[in-house]
Structure 1
Amino acid sequence: MNYEIIHKPSYSFLKVKLSPGQTIKAESGAMVYMTPGIDVETKMGSGFLSAISRRFFGGESFFFNVFKASVTGGEIGLAPELPGDVVGIDLTDTGLIVESGAYLASDETISIKPMFGGIRSFFGGEGIFLLEAFGNGKLFLNAYGGIIPIDVQGSYTIDTGHIVAFDKSLQYKIAKAGGSWKSTFFGGEGLVMEFTGHGRVLIQTRVPSGFLSWLTALLPN
């Protein structure tokens, strides 16, 4: 698979060239275009109950679209819903935990399944339901805004709304920002993830709920 990410980092767009017989799996609705020579098949995620939990609690769709190149090969263009960056990650057996909504596409050798990451914050609507990505191959993630890698060596606290993905080697717990509901109500903060151990976290520089709050305040009553 050959790919190119253009218009980084604000309006990233993923172009994938597939040789005959090659496939790529993408989030439903991510396809912008495909050339002749590409066949598409819609598949349900890993298990019906898992798909339902992902649809109603994880923010992802029921289905993936699998694009396969015929004998002539072809090209497909993919884009996320929100403006921001896209990154390609070489995934290994160690796996990666991905925030719901950050998954864009992957090799078909990559398995995606939902996992429970905690409760959904009712302060600002940050979702902290997580997906587990495992297998060997290329994984493409998207974010709202830019993507910043953080090397955790010991401990680190990050607002849940800014989480994109993190290594499975990290331990984490979900807590109230500031350690009390007082800071949550009056300080404008919500929930955080407290990481410990050694590994990498990818964060996004903006939060969709923050933009929505800003936009809502401008609308007439």
Structure 2
Amino acid sequence: MNLDVKGKPAFAHVHVTIEPGESFVAESDAMSSMSTQLDMTAELNGGFFNAILKKIFGGETLFVNRFTNNTSEPLTLTITQPTPGDMEVKELNGESFCLQQGAYIASTPDVKLGVKFAGFGSWIGGEGLFKLMVSGHGKVIFGAFGGLIEREVSGEFIVDTSHLVGYEPGMKLKPQLSGGIFSSFFSGEGFVTRVEGSGKIFIQTRSMSGMTSWVNKNL
């Protein structure tokens, strides 16, 4: 199976080439086009109770679509996301990776998607009380609002509220004021997230909360 990301960074989409006998799983609103010979079936996102948990706490759709190639030739599928921005393909080889709520878009069938408690520090820092955890073997597609910045962290790093998209499970998130009390609240920065540990993180250049605040202020 081949995944090719096009349109980066503002209007990213992924062209998926599905070989005969292969399947691909995507969020219920992620498909923008596909070959007519592909078989598409809707199913609950990991069983009834797991689907409910992912819907409520992970910001994911209740149902996912499974695309299966039952022909003898390669077929194509194009995957996109609701908001303008970047998309990334990450390959998992038995490890896990954490994603912010709503970041997951699609994956190969052997990738498992779960919801885990992220801690009150993550919630205070604007990253949500729960996190999505992808694990297993295969490829996963996740998206962002705006561009995606990949950064290797060794020690500590500061990320603004709701800009952290993905990070490795061993890393810790700690909320803190961006500066002193006066500077934090009058600079417009408020709380930020201190990422501690060693590993790779993905940061989005825009945030929905920032866009909402700007729109409300200018309406």
* Aligned residue in 2 for 1:65: 65
Q: Which TM-score applies when normalising by structure 1? A: 0.87
Superposition deviation, residue 210 in structure 1: 0.8
Residue number in structure 2 paired with 1:19: 19
Decide whether the 8 Å contact of 2:176 with 2:194 is kept in 1. no
Q: How far is 1:126 from its partner?
A: 5.5
Gaps of 5+ in 1: none
User: Aligned partners of 1:121, 1:196: CA distance in 2, in Å?
Assistant: 16
Give the whole-Å Cα distance in 1 for the aligned partners of 2:69 and 2:180: 53
Does structure 2 retain, via aligned residues, the 8 Å contact 1:118–1:174? no
C-alpha deviations, 1:3-50, integer Å up to 9, x for none? 221111110011111111111111120111111111112222234333
TM-score (normalizing by structure 2): 0.88
- Cα separation, 2, equivalents of 1:180 and 1:109: 47
Preserved contact between residue 97 and residue 168 of structure 1 (Cα < 8 Å): yes
Matches within 5 A, 1:93-172: 93-119=94-120, 127=128, 129-170=130-171, 172=172
Deviation at 1:169, TM superposition (A): 3.0
Aligned ranges 1:133-212 → 2 under 5 Å:
133-170=134-171, 172-178=172-178, 185-212=185-212
Contact 2:174-2:195 within 8 A present in 1 as well:
no
3-state SS in 1 of match to 2:49: helix
1:85 corresponds to 2:86:
yes
3-state SS of the aligned residue for 1:75?
Answer: strand
The root-mean-square deviation of aligned C-alpha atoms, in Å, is: 2.4
Report how many aligned residue pairs link the two structures.
217
Aligned CA distance change for structure 1 residues 54 and 176 (closer, same or farther; 3 Å):
farther
Q: Conserved in 1, the CA contact under 8 Å of 2:174 and 2:193?
A: yes
- For structure 2, list consecutive stretches of 5 or more residues without a partner in the other structure: none
Which range is displaced more, 95-104 or 125-134? 125-134
